[in-house]
Each structure stands twice: as structure tokens, then as C-alpha cells.
Amino acid sequence: MIGLNIEKTFGFIAKEKVASYEADVKAAQEALENGTGKGNDFLGWLHLPSSISRELLDDLKATAQTLRENCEAVVVAGIGGSYLGARAVIEALSNSFAWLQEKKNGPVILFAGHNIGEDYLYELTEYLKGKKFGIINISKSGTTTETALAFRLLREQCERQCGKDMARKVIVAITDAKKGAARVTADKEGYKSFIIPDNVGGRFSVLTPVGLLPIAVAGFDIDKLVAGAVAMEKACGMDVPFAENPAALYAATRNELYRNGKKIEILVNFNPKLHYVSEWWKQLYGESEGKEHKGIFPAAVDFSTDLHSMGQWIQEGERTIYETVISVEKVNHSLTVPADAENLDGLNFLAGKHVDEVNKMAELGTQLAHVDGGVPNMRITIPALNEESIGGLLYFFEKACGISGYLLGVNPFNQPGVEAYKKNMFALLNKPGYEEESKAIRARL
Ligand code: PA5
């Protein structure tokens, strides 16, 4: 189960102030439960863990098995909420060197549709040449340019390399039930497809087929992932008292820090496998709260790596930051530091210690140093990097995000700001229907 420790924020904000959020948090939770707050048509994620049907989970596992049996590689095409959740979980649970190993336990999972890099896409298509590969095309709107462009390239290559019949077997669409180009193509071509519920926005969709299918294809246990999320749904429920509810406490503490000038939250990990969990978290909080000229800026670092780059800034730069550390209690493997007769590196004081013991002392030492340097610190503890813990962590952040957005007074479930760049890009590319915008934007160049 996830633990949250906020003690090391209390030198910067008052404990009583955090406690005083209880009524507002309760109101935010009621608004979520009763659907009376802003963005209430996007609350499908709230009880998603406990309402996923066995039928859907079995269908996802069977589809994943088909892809695992028929593919050497599977490309997951998607961007934003249709990309980061799957990547976060897969990277957190995978062997860091799996893709280099000769004997693979299932297809290599690759990602596309989250950038428009010509070199990236060229190199991907080169890698896939002559390989049996499948595609999971994920787009709720079914019209996202980055994803559609990658899918067009990949689908053509897949059909050319393995024929239309096999392509039909290894291309899966995850999209809206009725609308969008991805739905039209899936229905016309007879691809296996899964639906993204209308009331679940992209960044809250990791526990729908959007996240679950790629995670299952990567060989991870989606039943356990969902079970971890269900446990957290209970632990963060409305009936759990404020002081014992981690989502409530996290939401309240970060809002109090923000009101006290801490405008930047840095999510910290001491395990490189969590890098993409931070990327997912950045989208969740950035897109949910950054509006109406308000919102904490979500940043992230990987320690120790970034202690040797961003560590200086965090220790002594502008005091507008606080840190939230994700601490993993137990490692999955055991490795001890060997003794060395010559001890030229002076490390014999560590001989016989587990590498994780050194890491944990780096973690503790960093926490104390940063607090001394004026950086409030919260600590989220998860038992281990496994499906249950990660499922729980994702749901915890989602629930806290909903509460936190309401405390901030914004609609945490829309993202009007992401349309501006699209309009300009379409105008610059002379997309039909954008003639007026094209003229106007060219006049500005
Ligand atoms: O959170 C969101 O809504 C966005 O990040 C979307 O997920 C992202 O823009 C991709 O959209 P779509 O799934 O429609 O292709």
C-alpha cells in the first residue's frame, strides 16, 4: 500500500493550515462523487478500477496473446494520454536491458505517434523492415495528426510486409465507439478494436484499454495492476478520514505550498525505471491544472543522475520549489558491493552492503540536504516495482489530481490550451478548411 509522509513540509507551511483544508477537500470529493463540479462529463475514471469487467480484461488478455504469438515487435502509436500511461507502466516493470537480450520474452514494444521526427520515424521503419510486427493505434479523437501520420506509415509497411490478412490480425485500434478516422478505418478494415469511454479523458485513461492492452502485450499482469488500483480507490475513498486519506492529504499539502509561493513541484525518483511515471505525472498535473494563468508547474528529475546536474539548482536556486519523492521500499534483485584487497577507490567501507542500501542513504541524505536548503519535501512510498504498486500509484495520483484541481478552482478535466498550436500548424500546412487562418498566419511571418 502507498504511504505519504508530509512531515518535512511543516517547516515551510503550518500543519494546522494543511488540516484546515479538510472541509474544502470534502467538498471537492463530493463534487467528484456526485458529478456536480467542473468537467463533470469526464469523471469515468473515478470508479474505473472497481468497475472494469472481467469480460473486458479477458478480451484484452486474449488480444494481447494474439499479438505476442504473431509479432516480433509491436508499435504502440499514440500521444499524450494515449501514450504516456502505457509507457510509464511498461518501463517501470521491464528489465532495463530487455531489448538488448537475445532471447526475448515476447515482442519488443516500441512507441510512435508521439513526435513528428522524420529521422525517428525513418529509423523505426528501418528497424521494422523484414520483421513481423503489429500496431496498436490509440487515439480517442481518432484525428490526432502525430498519431495518424505514424499509423499511416506503419500500416502501409505492415500490410506490404505481411499481407492484408495478417495485418488484420496484428493491427488493433483503441478509439471512440463511433467517431473519428481511426474508428472509420478500423471498421472498414475489420481490425479488432476497443473503445475509450466517452467520459474518460486521455490523461486519465491508463486503466482503460489505452494502457491495459499495451501493458498486457508487454507481458505484465493487468489483473494485478487493476487490483492495485482498486485497493487505492478504497484507500482514497470519500469515507476515509482526511488525515488517513493519501490523495486528500497530497492535494491539500500541494495547494498550501502553492499558496505559499512554491510554484514548482519536482517529482523525484531514485530508480531510473520510474522516469516515464514522472512523464505521465507531468502530463496529468500540467494539463489538468495549468489554466486560467494558474497552476503548479510539474517538473521531474531522476536521482542520482540529476543530482549531478539539477542538484545545484535545487539546493541553492530560487526558493519557489518543493519536492515529492517516490521511494521504492524493496528492490526486486540483490546485488552487494564486493570487497577489494587494494581498495584503490576507497569503497571498502561499503563492501558487503546492498547497492540499494547506498541508494537509500543517498535518498535520505538528499532529502535532509534539500530541506536544509529551503525545499519542502513530501515522500510517497511504494512497496516495490510491481503491478499492484504501480496500479495503486497511478490511481492515487489521478484521485489527488481531481481533488487538487477543484481546490485550485479550475476544471481539471479539459485542455483548451492544447488547440492553439494545432490551429497554427494546420494553417501553415494549408490544411483544407484553414484558408483564412493560413492567410492570417502568413501575414505574421
Ligand atoms: O489528455 C489528453 O486528453 C490529451 O493528452 C490526449 O490524450 C492527446 O492529445 C491524444 O489525443 P487522442 O487520443 O485524441 O489522439
Min mean pLDDT across 28-42, 100-114, 267-281, 335-349 is at 100-114
Evaluate whether 378 touches 370 at the Cβ level (below 8 Å): no
Helices (H), 171-300: 181-189, 209-217, 222-235, 246-259, 275-289
Going by pLDDT thresholds of 50, 70 and 90, the confidence category of residue 303 is very high
Ligand 1 mean position to 147 CA, how many Å? Answer: 10
- Among candidate residues 308, 318, 342, 436, the one labeled active-site is 308
Distance from chain centroid for Cα 164: 33
- Protein residue whose Cα sits closest to atom 8 of ligand 1: 80
Residues 6+ apart with CB under 8 A from 357: none
Distance 394 CA to ligand 1 centre (A): 18
Query: Residue 289 Cα, ligand 1 centroid: separation in angstroms?
Result: 16
The closest-lying atom of ligand 1 relative to the alpha carbon of residue 287 is: 1
pLDDT at 97: 92
Residue 199 pLDDT greater than 90, yes or no? yes
**Cα 182 to Cα 188: distance, rounded to the nearest angstrom:** 10
Q: What pLDDT is stored for residue 101 in this prediction?
A: 82
Taking alpha carbons only, the member of 152, 355, 204, 200 closest to residue 271 is 355
**CA-196 nearest atom, ligand 1:** 13
What pLDDT is attached to residue 105?
Answer: 84
Query: 297, 270 in Cβ contact below 8 A?
Result: no
Residue 238 clears pLDDT 80, i.e. is over it: yes
Q: What is the mean pLDDT of residues 111-116?
A: 98
* Per-residue pLDDT tens digits for 241-258: 999 999 999 999 999 999
Bridge-based pairing of strands 264-269 and 192-195 is unpaired
Segment 143-152 shows an average pLDDT of: 96
Q: Which of 47, 104, 234, 422 is catalytic?
A: 422
Residue 422 annotated to the active site: yes
In whole angstroms, what is the distance from residue 321 CA to residue 374 CA?
9
Residue 1 pLDDT: 81
This prediction has a pTM of 0.97
Nearest CA among 368, 267, 258 for reference residue 325: 267
CA triplet 256, 3, 246: central angle to 5 degrees? 45
Residues of the chain with pLDDT > 70, as a percent, come to 100
The confidence score (pLDDT) of residue 3 equals 96
Neighbours of 438 (CB within 10 A): 16
CA 364, CA 361: separation in Å to the nearest integer? 5
Grid coordinates standing for 230?
Answer: 482498486
Counting from 1 in the atom list of ligand 1, the atom nearest the Cα of 141 is: 14
Cross-strand partners of 289: none
* Residue 297, pLDDT score: 98
The pLDDT-based confidence of 98 (bands split at 50, 70, 90) is: confident
Half-sphere exposure of 137 (CA within 13 A, CB side): 34
201 CA: nearest ligand 1 atom: 3
Q: Whose CA is nearest to atom 3 of ligand 1?
A: 202
Q: What is the best residue among 83, 138, 140, 193 to mutate for testing ligand 1's pocket, by most ligand atoms within 8 Å of CB?
A: 140
pLDDT at 293 over 90: yes
Sole residue written with cell 510554484: 263
Kindly write down the DSSP assignment for every residue of 155-171, as one continuous string: HHHHHHHHHHHHHHHHE
Assess whether pLDDT exceeds 80 at residue 103: no
Verify whether residue 287 is a known catalytic residue. yes
Question: 366: CA distance to ligand 1 center in Å?
Answer: 36
Is pLDDT at 102 greater than 80 in this prediction? no
- How crowded is residue 275: how many other Cβ atoms within 10 Å of its Cβ? 17
Distance 80 CA to ligand 1 centre (A): 5
Ligand 1 center from residue 205 Cα (angstroms): 10
Phi, psi of 109 (to 5 degrees): -100, 125
Contact 297, 102 (CB under 8 A): no
Which ligand 1 atom lies nearest to the CA of residue 80? 5
**Catalytic residue flag (residue 8):** no
CA of 139 to the centre of ligand 1 (A): 7
Q: State which of 79, 87, 280, 287 you would mutate to test the pocket of ligand 1, scoring each by most atoms of that ligand within 8 A of its C-beta.
A: 79
Which stretches of 290-354 are DSSP H helices? 311-316
Alpha carbon of 143 to ligand 1 centroid (Å): 10
Phi, psi for residue 339 in degrees, rounded to 5:
-80, 155
Closest CA to 438 of 146, 429, 143: 429
Residue from 144, 289, 398 to probe ligand 1 pocket by mutation (most atoms less than 8 Å from CB): 144
* Average pLDDT value for residue range 278-305: 98
Mean pLDDT of the chain: 97
Q: Exactly one of 146, 287, 323, 388 is catalytic; name it.
A: 287
For residue range 327-384, what is the model confidence (pLDDT) as tens digits?
999 999 999 999 999 999 999 999 999 999 999 999 999 999 999 999 999 999 999 9
Which residue, chain included where needed, has cell 520483421? 131
- What residues line ligand 1, using a CB cutoff of 6 Å? 79-82, 139-141, 144, 147, 201-203, 287, 415
Instruction: Give the atom of ligand 1 at the shortest distance from the alpha carbon of 79.
Output: 10
pLDDT tier for residue 387 given thresholds of 50, 70 and 90: very high
In this prediction, residues 424-437 reach a mean pLDDT of: 94
* Per-residue model confidence as pLDDT tens digits over 313-335: 999 999 999 999 999 999 999 99
Choice between 101 and 7, residue whose per-residue pLDDT is larger: 7
pLDDT value at 393 more than 80 = yes
